[in-house]
Structure 1
Amino acid sequence: MFDPIESASLVTREVRTSERDGRQVRTAVARRTYPTDRDDLWDCLTNPERIPRWFLPIEGDLVEGGSYQLQGNAGGTIERCAAPEAFSVTWEFGGMVSWLTVSLTPGDGGTTLELVHTAAVDPQMWEQFGPGAVGLGWDLGLVGIGMHLDSGEDVDPEVKAGWNLSQDGRAYLEVAAAGWADAAVADGDSRDAADSAASAVFDAYTTVPPAPDDELPG
């Protein structure tokens, strides 16, 4: 039986503040170990026939120097591909460019996935939502991988589309948001600011967006 709290606790979360090209950047790091070998996990992450089984349909020339586009989400350039160890891509969405590296390390009983996402974040956005703005999105991806690997089947499309609004999804994201708050505090944010941001980003991920008619004045 799936335990959302236990599943969220399988992820370790870290925040780093540094500079890139003379600008302050924030890095969200997430790690989770899966009970499969490195070749299988690499295939899960890079095979265009398999990625939609736990995430989104993908198109492009999926080789080093090529490009990719996730349906309704980010696209970018594949900057490095060293199978089955690591890949690095640009993550381009909404006019913003950030940088993503995924590394796989074999270990006792499985393979550890480390995801490192670096972005120049608007200070007001960071104050409002903290690292969970990107972190919770990746948490949902990590749990999707786990569901797929556990069953060997496709994750139900309805689950992928709305799991964050379910009881299990909310329980999972509550633990994950608190984990990102702890990581932000370890990187130097105040506890009050980190907890406030975690509460706001949890609400953002678990609230049904208004229907179009609800947005009309009247």
Structure 2
Amino acid sequence: MDIVDEINRVHRELLNGERKVMTMRRRYDAEIEDVWDACTKAERLNRWFLPVTGDLRLGGKYQFEGNAGGEILECEPPRMLKVSWLFGENPGFSEVEVRLSAEDGGTLFELVHSADVPPEFWSGFGPGAAGVGWDLALLGLSLYLSTGAAAPDENTFHQTDEGRRFITASSQGWGRAYEAAGGTPDEVAAAVAATTAFYAPEEERS
């Protein structure tokens, strides 16, 4: 697997209004039922994303270990899942919707993350703060669906040359989406630099 090619397989869009809306689309060479199952079953989510606990049904609450939690707002197997995506003690509005559709023997995967982002945070990092994290998740799903392998270790992936290339390419991809949505060159450059440094600090490379 070409790690940077995985970045190029994803189409990224940003609506840069008062509420930020990030959209990612890519195709997986797996049947829609398999992708749906991988995205909704706790034992499979644990393989490519994070351990999850809770009542995984419509109206139930969930919590990813060390990450977001919320409520399952809509669920239409095997095509659509919408959840609130809340992190921290005082989270604002944040929802994630996953849409799946069968396409040429595979599955078109679309993820839409809508959120109210504090202006000071957005001005520092732009869309890459969340976007790089989602790119890493989609890489994990790709590896899992194609080989059955677990996702790269998030504690060490950024320390490898391969991991750094992936993170840098992801950050730059979100920079292009930011620019297309109206970000100025200075805003985009600062956000890409800050996001890359956050996910892949130079001093931690091995």
Q: How is 1:81-120 mapped onto 2 (pairs within 5 angstroms)? A: 81-94=75-88, 95-97=90-92, 98-120=94-116
Q: Is the 8 A contact 1:129 1:200 kept in 2?
A: yes
Aligned partner letter, 1:187? A
Alpha-carbon spacing, 1:173–1:154, altered in 2? closer, same or farther (3 Å): closer
Q: Is the 8 A contact 1:8 1:173 kept in 2?
A: no
Structure 2 distance, partners of 1:85, 1:56, is 21
Q: Is 1:3 aligned to residue 2 of structure 2? A: yes
Alpha-carbon spacing, 1:155–1:121, altered in 2? closer, same or farther (3 Å): closer
Q: Percent identity?
A: 38
Task: Give 1:12's aligned residue.
Answer: 11
Structure 2 distance, partners of 1:99, 1:62, is 16
Among 98, 122, 129, the residue aligned to 2:125: 129
Q: Is the 8 A contact 1:17 1:187 kept in 2?
A: yes
Structure 2 distance, partners of 1:114, 1:26, is 16
Q: How is 1:38-77 mapped onto 2 (pairs within 5 angstroms)? A: 38-77=32-71
Uncovered stretches (5+) of structure 1, i.e. residues with no partner: 19-23, 211-218
- Secondary structure of the structure 2 residue equivalent to 1:155: coil
> By how many angstroms is 1:209 displaced?
9.3
- Secondary structure of the structure 2 residue equivalent to 1:133: helix
Runs of 4+ with deviation above 6 angstroms: none
Aligned residues: 202
Structure 2 distance, partners of 1:208, 1:51, is 30
Uncovered stretches (5+) of structure 2, i.e. residues with no partner: none
Q: Is the 8 A contact 2:139 2:151 kept in 1?
A: no
Structure 2 distance, partners of 1:28, 1:57, is 24
- Secondary structure of the structure 1 residue equivalent to 2:49: coil
Structure 2 distance, partners of 1:46, 1:208, is 36
- Secondary structure of the structure 2 residue equivalent to 1:154: coil
> By how many angstroms is 1:208 displaced?
7.8
Alpha-carbon spacing, 1:209–1:133, altered in 2? closer, same or farther (3 Å): farther
Q: Is 1:25 aligned to residue 19 of structure 2? A: yes
- Secondary structure of the structure 2 residue equivalent to 1:121: coil
Instruction: Give the greater-gyration-radius structure (CA).
Output: 1
Structure 2 distance, partners of 1:190, 1:9, is 23
Structure 2 distance, partners of 1:170, 1:153, is 20
Q: TM-score, normalised by structure 2?
A: 0.93
Q: TM-score, normalised by structure 1?
A: 0.88
Structure 2 distance, partners of 1:74, 1:34, is 25
